[in-house]
Chains A and B, each alone.
Chain A
Amino acid sequence: MRRPGLDRRPPQTAPPARGFRKALLLIERSTKEAIWDCRMCGQCILHSTGMSCPMRCPKNLRNGPCGGTLQDGSCEVVPEMKCVWVSAWEGSRRLPLWRSHMAHVERPTDWRLQETGSWENLLTGRDRQVPAGWNAGANPRRAGGAERTA
Chain B
Amino acid sequence: MTEPRSRLHELLLAGEFVVTAELQTSDSADPGSVTRLAELLRGSVDAVNCTDNSAAHAHISPLAAAHLLADDGVEPIMQFVCRDRNRLALQADLLGAAALGVRNIVCMTGDDVSVGDHPEAKPLYDIDSVHLLRIARIMRDEGVYLSGRQLTGAPSFLIGAVENPFAPPLEFRPMRVGMKVEAGAEFIQTQICFNLDKMRLFMARCGELGLLDLVWILAGVFVPSSARGVRYLRDQVPGVDVPGWVIERMEARAPEDQRAEGVRIALEIVEQVRDIPDVRGIHLMTINHEDAIPQVVEGAGLLPRP
Contact = CB atoms under 8 A, between A and B. Distances in A.
Interface string B97-125: 00000000000110110110000000101
B238 interface: yes
A98 to B, nearest CB: 14
A145 B182 CA distance: 10
Given A59-B123, A68-B112, A73-B168, A134 B138 contact: yes
A57 B132 CA distance: 18
A60 B125 CA distance: 6
A67 B169 contact: no
Interface stretch (A5-13, A32-40, A102-110): A102-110
Nearest to A92: B172
A4 interface: no
Among B87, B148, B168, the one with the most A-chain Cβ atoms within 10 Å of its Cβ is B168
B167 A85 contact: no
B171 interface: yes
B239 A68 contact: yes
Given A64-B176, A65-B167, A70-B239, A140 B147 contact: no
User: What interface size band does chain A fall in?
Assistant: 35 or more
Contact of B169 (A90, A103, A137): A90
A118 B239 CA distance: 33
A83 interface: yes
Contacts of B179: 63-64, 103-105
A144 interface: yes
Q: Say whether chain B's binding surface is mostly helix, strand, loop, or mixed.
A: loop
Nearest to A64: B176
B148 A132 contact: yes
Given A60-B125, A76-B238, A66 B138 contact: no
B112 A141 contact: no
A136 interface: yes
A134 B146 contact: yes
B214 A144 contact: yes
A45 to B, nearest CB: 13
B224 interface: no
User: What interface size band does chain B fall in?
Assistant: 35 or more
Interface string B116-140: 0000000101111111001101100
A119 interface: no
A46 interface: no
Nearest to B242: A71
Contact of A59 (B125, B130, B184, B185): B125
Given A59-B123, A134-B138, A76 B178 contact: no
B167 A70 contact: yes
Contact of A71 (B134, B147, B167, B182): B167
Interface string B137-157: 110011011111100000000
A3 interface: no
A89 B173 CA distance: 10
Interface of B: 1-2, 82-83, 87, 108-109, 111-112, 114-115, 123, 125-131, 134-135, 137-138, 141-142, 144-149, 162-164, 167-169, 171-172, 175-176, 178-179, 181-186, 191, 213-215, 238-239, 241
9 contacts: A59-B82, A59-B112, A67-B163, A76-B238, A134-B138, A140-B182, A141-B181, A149-B213, A150-B1
